[in-house]
Amino acid sequence: MWADPMDDEAAIHGDYAENPERDCSVYFGKKPVKSLLKKNKLLSVFRGHQVKQDGFHMHKWGSRDSFPYVITIFSAPNYCGSYKNKASVLILKNNNLQLKQYTDTDPPYQLPEGLDLFSWSLPFLSEKVVSMLYAILKQCSDEELDPTQTEEIKDKVEENLSKAQLKLKRKMILRNKVSSVGKMSKMLSSLRQNHEVIL
């Protein structure tokens, strides 16, 4: 329900009023709520979506001893980190209603300088991914990575030019990849260590 209940005094005699706070709905009073409850054989309207300092508000509207026409429940403590409000939940058990209030608590751990988890963990993640790639590429045989083999292949190019060129190209690409991954691993390890020092 996007509409909000009127203040207690205004609601006693009011039906509807403009709601500039929402700019898209109205305030409602006792009369339309009473009609809705009677027509649908309901006891009360339970609603949320409105900050209340105590986490809830019982809208009795002049009938102090009766059950509230409307009950507002708000379950987000310290809404948006600035309202300093309590939060409440409504528990219905064995035909009894119970309100539980909660206050805001500090998070168990906050990352330094307001970093989000992704930004904070990226150096660690990158280092691990690169070290895994490096380990996979190190499975190449020494012959595949031996620079002298490149010379031998170059000598045999005349005999079987297309095959030799392809092999050479593959070996060079593979050797460059292993070399690049090794360099990247060292760089990321250094970045992570520097990141830890900064934090």
Q: Give pLDDT tens digits for 20-32.
A: 988 888 999 999 9
pLDDT at position 176? 79
Question: Is 178 or 16 the better-scoring residue by pLDDT?
Answer: 16
Question: Is 9 or 184 the better-scoring residue by pLDDT?
Answer: 9
pLDDT tier at 159 (50, 70, 90 boundaries)?
Answer: low
Residues 6+ apart with CB under 8 A from 74: 48, 49, 50, 51, 52, 55, 56, 85, 87, 88
Three-state secondary structure call for residue 120: helix
pLDDT at position 160? 59
Strands 16-19 and 4-5: unpaired
pLDDT tier at 164 (50, 70, 90 boundaries)?
Answer: low
Question: Is 10 or 108 the better-scoring residue by pLDDT?
Answer: 10
Average pLDDT over the chain reads 82
Instruction: Evaluate if residue 198 carries a pLDDT over 60.
Output: no
Angle between helices 117-137 and 161-198 (to 10 degrees): 140
Task: State the pTM of this model.
Answer: 0.54
> What's the Cα-to-Cα distance from 60 to each of 16, 55, 66, 71, 145, rounded to whole Å?
17, 16, 7, 9, 83
| HSE of 12, CA atoms in CB hemisphere, 13 A | 7
Q: Which residue has the tokens 């010379």?
A: 151
Output DSSP code: residue 108: S
Phi, psi of 88, deg, nearest 5 = -140, 155
